[in-house]
Chains A and B, each alone.
Chain A
Amino acid sequence: MAYPYVSDREVRVLSKNFGDPSARRLDTYVERGGYSALKKAFELGPDGVVDVVKASGLRGRGGAGFPTGVKWSFMPKDSNKPHYLLCNADESEPGTFKDRELIRWDPHQLIEGVLIGAYAIRAEHAYIYCRGEFFETTQVLARALEEAYEKGYVGKDIQGSGVDIDITVHLGAGAYICGEETGLMNSLEGQRGQPRIKPPFPAAVGAFGMPSTINNVETLAAIPHIVAHGGEWYRQWGTEKSPGTKLFCVSGHVNKPGNYELPLGFPLMDLIEDVCGGMRDGKALKAVIPGGSSVPILNAAECAACSLDYEGVVEAGSMLGCASVIVMDENTDIVKQVRRMVQFYAHESCGQCTPCREGTAWMTKILQRIEDGRGTEDDLQTLLDMGVQMTGTTICVLSDSAAAPVESSILKFKDEYLALIRRGERVGAA
């Protein structure tokens, strides 16, 4: 198989069917051992499943990296309210394209993971909330779900187990902020897609006011493997604190961009040089955004020592986020990149919180002015001050996310800003 690019350093657990359309069919999936983990889960019982997942050390793949088993254990055990499992397939972080691939190559892997997750948190209904632009992906998923219903893997009395779990696929309307967990819940309920204040937390008051858990696609896709093989098995990859494999979405100036499944803790430079075939046109590396657009930028020196696990990336000065590695070569205009990202956040801010609503748009205007050669050095201080005012002051972290690349780029690539500003000064003086 040659799914766009593959590397022999990959460990293809979740991505083993990438590039193989036959795996979309239920019988192929079952032939290859699919839905056996579900059966095993029913034998373990809900708490048994939670224990296995806890033992595996699996951490949420949506960006925050919170241990999945622990999250599941927050769900009330003795409430008589309905519980909901929400699968977050609103993949919209710039630079991220793993969930789309997981769904469209291996939809049953996700469905099985959703069923096990729902069973573990005692939910009888799960929702898969798909990004508005995922038409084809959602079609694949819906078709697979239909087949799973037909064959009795979803719905009432699954495979004679007495367990009832329904799954609904919901296509969003295309808003980044609906990928924020409480924004997703509002959107699912038919409200304006904007995050809610916490507390209350979803495990207490979530979708439709009921206890809910929300997990990323990649997290749930890993569940069948963990349940089938056990927690220890999963820990053979990765580090003590970041066990398992992870999909890395590499984009930008490398020879072979794409999705690569690697053990956590993999060296960033090996990913670029070896797995991705090195920098495009032999250019020098300037910067990497290791976790999707909302994490701080790493300069080339920081990249050298960076290992790709949750702790390693923090040590290097950024965050692993959803492991969307954006690689930029020496010719990249950092100010333009940052402006483009902040513009994205300004466009996607839900607009509730003043610092986010006004700050993201104002930052965009200032950055654009600097880019156009009409900036001043005072602007940089204003931007840094705004970064402080936009961090930790809002309902969700979109505001923090917009501020992070601005702050980190001014600190690490100040020369590029100054060059634009001074060029502007010269032009103005002439």
Chain B
Amino acid sequence: MADTPNTVSLTIDGHEVTVPKGTTLLEAAKTIGEDVPHYCYHPGLSAPAMCRLCLVEVEGAPKPMPSCVTTAADGQVVHTQSDLALSRRRGVLEFYLVNHPLDCPICDQSGECKLQDYVHQEGRDHGRSREPKRVFGRDDFGGDVLFYGDRCVMCTRCVRFMTEMEQDSRLTVVERGNRSVIDTFFEEGLEGTNWSGNIVDICPVGALVSKDFLHKARAWDLEHTPSICPSCSQGCNISLHTRDNLVQRLKPRENMEVNGWWMCDHGRANYEWMNHGQRLEAPLVRTEDAVRAMGWKEAVGALLDRAETTSGSVKAVVSPFASNEDLAAVRSLVDALGGGSMVYRMARADAEVPMDGFPILARRRDLAPNGRGAEIMGASRVGDDDGVGGLDDVAGHDGVVIVLGDPLVDQDASFGQSASLFAYLGMHGSPATGAADFSLPITNFAEQEGTFTNHEGRVQRFWPGLRGPGAAQPAWFVLGAFQAARSGDPAPRSAADAFAALAASEPALAGMTYDDLGARGAVLNETVSVPGG
């Protein structure tokens, strides 16, 4: 890269590096794959340069420099691995261990702890401290946060997060010197905050842990699957952390255009439903005399037979928790059966919950991930802000009724009884699904691949972190097989095929490819407004 007035060129560990003006040495070193150890620095927060762990050697400087606040300059020669740099960092690491309890065997952070990592990476083999350790003990900070004072490395990330990001200063450092300890101001601590779960993520050690996750799993036993938070229309990028085919916790995944490094406490806590035990596990088909469990082939065959003979317009109820591919599959089913209406219901909160320090991020009013996707597929919102009601004309409809994903909890057993064909594709049954001619088990978003479209029209992918129960399949797969059998065209074999078909038929998604979306997503071609959103 040629030098321009907006870049500087320097040498880091023998490599020529050109970076934008104002880049810190720590960030510049990342461009050659060197991650200089650090605690207090977090790219989303101010840099107090106090942990002193990121010291590097800069030729000509009188002292080792903190790379987190030293800006790159033309011609600078920087050594992150020189004897001086390594020895000063080794010194800092030894200081951390003077009072650290080394209780890794019972610490939730173990395995993803920056103190473990750095000490193994560049610390001394043996500590030299023989002195009794300082003891702070444990404190309940309120919310989901538990504080183990003895493990704290005093980086103040938690304090700065609350002050700079949530902008509700609930934490502070009390006392000074090595009596310094993080504390809350009043009895309520973090109670009533909306984003404080993030301090557990950014705490580099096990000083702040989640009460919900406490002693639930070891970090190294967890699988991480990139996903999208389903709890509102913001579409925060997250990871599903799973073990034994259960979601154990949700963690935010960096995406600067959506959620930065953060997610809200509501979304973080709302995952137990993904582990729901009472699931439809096999296709249930109503025959002359009984409801019978069948294999997919038989069930799709039966549905084909019924579709030949049914009459009347189609009314479909879809869920804003369904993927774009699933919604598109229902859309084309409705069209194939002669056309009709498509509605969805969605809970809506009274107000947004913004994160003041990262203005593009808020918990949105729409409490589902894909209301926008449903609108694009032509569904309109019905019902009230609790996500119930609005189905009177569907409940007694005498044509075809198709329900995707909405468990109809507010409806009674008369729902769909007059329908000429009632097909329910869902995760679990309810009294209102009792009249269904077909109850087809489908997977939830955590069990399948697909895309959601967030409030601003960003289409984002998610991946399966769980195995679906029994014979459950993604709706696009089931309906795709049905359509293929009717038309003779090939069925989509993957979510990518389903997405490609959608992109080809839906102008708002034209030109998007599944691969291009990658893990970051892309914004729709045209803006589609969600009424009342």
Residues of chain A whose beta carbon lies under 8 Å from any beta carbon of chain B = 175, 177, 192, 194, 197, 346-355, 357-362, 365-366, 369, 378, 382, 385-386, 388-390, 392-395
Is the pair B131, A369 in contact by a Cβ cutoff of 8 Å?
Answer: yes
Closest-CB distance, A406 to chain B (whole angstroms):
15
List, in ascending order, chain B residues with CB within 8 A of A349's CB. Answer: 176-178
Docked-complex contact B88 and A351, CB < 8 angstroms: no
Q: A352-B50, A393-B88 are in contact. Are A359 and B177 (CB under 8 A)?
A: no
Q: Tell me if B95 and A359 are in contact (CB < 8 A).
A: yes
In the complex the two chains form, what is the Cα distance from A359 to B69 in whole Å?
23
Q: Which residues of A contact B48 (CB under 8 A)?
A: 197, 352
Binary flags per residue of B153-172, CB closer than 8 Å to A gives 1, else 0: 11000000000000000001
Enumerate chain B residues within 8 angstroms of A350, measured Cβ to Cβ: 176-177
11 sample A-B contacts, Cβ–Cβ < 8 Å, listed by A number: A348-B177, A350-B176, A350-B177, A353-B51, A354-B53, A362-B98, A362-B131, A365-B131, A369-B130, A369-B131, A388-B91
Binding site secondary structure of chain A: helix
A346 to B64, CA, bound (A): 23
Verify A354–B51 contact, CB threshold 8 A.
yes
In the complex, residue of chain A having the shortest beta-carbon distance to the beta carbon of B99: A358
Q: Given A175-B176, A346-B177, A365-B131, answer yes or no on A353-B50 (Cβ-Cβ < 8 Å).
A: yes
Cβ contact of A355, chosen from B87, B91, B129, B179, cutoff 8 A: B91
Chain B residues in 8 Å Cβ range of A358 = 95-96, 98-99, 178
B96, B99, B173: the one contacting A192 at CB < 8 Å is B173
Main secondary structure of the interface of B (DSSP, over half): loop
Chain A contacts for B177, CB-based, 8 A: 346-351, 357, 360-361
Residues in chain B near residue A385, CB distance under 8 A:
91
Q: Is the CB of A393 within 8 A of B180?
A: no
Q: Are B63 and A354 in contact (CB under 8 A)?
A: no
Query: Is B176 a contact of A348 with CB atoms below 8 Å?
Result: yes
Instruction: Contact check, B50 vs A395: say whether CB atoms are below 8 A apart.
Output: yes
Closest to A386 in B: B91
Please name all residues of chain A whose beta carbon is closer than 8 Å to the beta carbon of B94 when the two chains form the complex.
389
Q: Does B322 belong to the interface (CB within 8 Å)?
A: no
Contact across chains for A351 and B154 when beta carbons are under 8 A apart: yes
Are B96 and A354 in contact (CB-based, < 8 A)? yes
Shortest C-beta distance, A176 to chain B (Å), equals: 10
A197, B95: Cβ atoms under 8 Å?
A: no
Bitwise, B366-400 to A at CB < 8 A (1) or not (0) is 00000000000000000000000000000000000
B92–A355 touching, CB < 8 Å: yes
- Given A352-B50, A360-B178, A395-B49: A389 and B92 interface contact (C-beta under 8 Å): yes
Asked if residues A354 and B95 are in contact (CB atoms below 8 Å), the reply is yes
Question: In the assembled complex, which residues on chain B have CB atoms less than 8 Å from the CB atom of A382?
Answer: 128
The answer to whether A392 touches B63 (Cβ under 8 A) is: yes
| Complexed CA–CA distance, A354 and B98 (Å) | 11
Given that A192-B173, A197-B48 are known contacts, is A355 also in contact with B62, CB under 8 Å in the complex?
A: no
Q: Are B69 and A197 in contact (CB under 8 A)?
A: yes
Known contacts A351-B177, A351-B180, A353-B50; 18 additional CB pairs below 8 A are A197-B48, A197-B66, A349-B176, A349-B178, A351-B175, A351-B179, A352-B50, A352-B154, A355-B91, A355-B95, A357-B154, A358-B95, A359-B95, A360-B177, A389-B87, A389-B92, A393-B63, A393-B88
Given A175-B176, A360-B178, check contact A354 B55 (CB 8 Å): no
A contact residues around B364 at 8 Å (CB) = none
A382 vs B129: C-alpha distance when bound (angstroms): 9
A residues near B51, Cβ cutoff 8 Å: 353-354
6 A-B pairs with the lowest CB-CB distances in the bound complex, closest first: A389-B91, A351-B180, A358-B95, A352-B50, A392-B63, A361-B178
How far does the alpha carbon of A269 sit from the alpha carbon of B64 in the complex, in Å?
A: 38
B349 CB to closest chain A CB (Å) equals: 36
Nearest B residue to A358 via CB reads: B95
Chain B, interface size: which category? Answer: 35 or more
Contact A177-B63, Cβ < 8 Å, known A358-B98, A389-B91: no
Q: Looking at B64, B128, B175, which has the most chain A CB atoms within 10 Å of its CB? A: B128
Residues of chain B within 8 A (CB-CB) of A197 are 48-49, 66, 69
Q: Which residue of B lies closest to A197 (CB)?
A: B49
Per the bound structure, the CA–CA distance linking A386 and B49 in Å amounts to 20
The answer to whether B95 and A362 have CB atoms under 8 Å apart is yes
Shortest Cβ distance from residue A205 to the other chain B in the assembled complex, whole angstroms: 14
Measured CB to CB, the nearest residue on chain A to B100 is A358
CA A389 to CA B90, docked complex, whole Å: 9
Beta-carbon contact of A394 and B131 below 8 Å: no
A393-B178 in contact given A362-B95, A369-B131 (Cβ < 8 Å):
no
Q: How far is the CA of A362 from the CA of B92 in the complex (A)?
A: 13
A395 contacts which chain B residues (CB < 8 A)? 49-50
CB of B337, distance to nearest CB on chain A (Å):
68
Q: Is the CB of B98 within 8 A of A393?
A: no
Is B455's CB within 8 Å of the partner chain A?
no
Known: A352-B50, A354-B96. A392 touches B62 (CB 8 A): yes
Instruction: Say yes or no for B241: interface residue by CB 8 A criterion.
Output: no
Kindly state the separation between the CA atoms of A382 and B98 in the bound complex, as whole angstroms.
13
Knowing A197-B69, A347-B177, A392-B63, the reply to whether A362 touches B129 (Cβ < 8 A) is yes
* Complex alpha-carbon distance, A395 and B131, angstroms: 26
Residues on the B chain within 8 Å of A352, using CB: 48, 50, 154
Q: Which of A354, A388, A394 contacts B154 (CB 8 A)?
A: A354
Closest A residue, CB atoms, query B97: A358
User: What residues on A are CB-neighbors of B96 within 8 Å?
Assistant: 354, 358
Cβ–Cβ < 8 Å partners of B176 in chain A = 175, 177, 194, 348-351
Q: How far is the CA of A338 from the CA of B128 in the complex (A)?
A: 21
Judged by a CB distance under 8 angstroms, whether B52 is at the interface is yes
Instruction: Report chain B residues within 8 Å CB of A386.
Output: 91
Measured CA separation A351–B91 after assembly (Å)? 16
Closest to B132 in A: A365
B residues less than 8 Å from A348 (CB atoms): 176-177
B131 pairs with A393, CB closer than 8 A: no
- The answer to whether A389 touches B128 (Cβ under 8 A) is no
Task: State which residues 16-70 of B face A: CB under 8 Å.
Answer: 48-53, 55, 62-64, 66, 69
Query: For residue A192, which residues in chain B have a CB less than 8 angstroms away from its CB?
Result: 172-173
> A366 vs B134: C-alpha distance in the bound complex, in angstroms?
14
State which residues 458-507 of B face A: CB under 8 Å. none
**Residue from B52, B131, B172 within 8 A of A353 (CB atoms):** B52
- Given A354-B154, A357-B180, A362-B129, A393:B69 Cβ within 8 A: no
Give every chain B residue within 8 A of A354 (Cβ-Cβ).
50-53, 92, 95-96, 153-154
Query: In whole angstroms, how far apart are the Cα atoms of A361 and B154 in the complex?
Result: 15
**Closest chain B residue, CB of each to CB of A365:** B131
B179 x A393 contact (CB < 8 A)? no
A177 (CB) vs chain B CBs: closest residue: B176
Residues of B near A378 (CB, < 8 A) are 128
A177–B179 Cα distance when bound, in Å, is 15
- Contacting residues, chain B, for A360 (C-beta < 8 A): 177-178
Give chain B residues whose Cβ lies under 8 Å from the Cβ of A389: 87-88, 91-92, 94-95
Chain A residue contacts of B53, Cβ below 8 A:
354
Please determine whether B131 and A357 come into contact, CB atoms closer than 8 angstroms: no
Q: Which residues of chain A are within 8 angstroms of B62 by Cβ–Cβ distance?
A: 392
Chain A residues contacting B154 (CB-CB under 8 Å) are 351-352, 354, 357
Assess the A346–B95 pair: CB atoms within 8 A.
no
Q: How far is A351 from B154 in the complex, measured between Cα atoms in Å?
A: 8
Nearest opposing residue in chain A for B179, CB measure? A351
Closest partner residue, chain B, to A362 (CB atom): B98
Among A350, A358, A369, residue most surrounded by chain B Cβ atoms (within 10 Å): A358
Given contacts A353-B52, A354-B53, A355-B52, contact A393 B64 (CB under 8 A): yes
| Complex-state Cα separation, A369 to B55, whole angstroms | 31
CB contacts (< 8 Å) of A351 on chain B: these are 154, 173, 175-180
A residues in contact with B95, CB < 8 Å: 354-355, 357-359, 362, 389
Q: Are B55 and A393 in touch, CB under 8 angstroms?
A: yes
* Alpha-carbon distance A346/B92, docked complex (angstroms): 16
List the A side residues contacting B175 at CB < 8 Å: 351
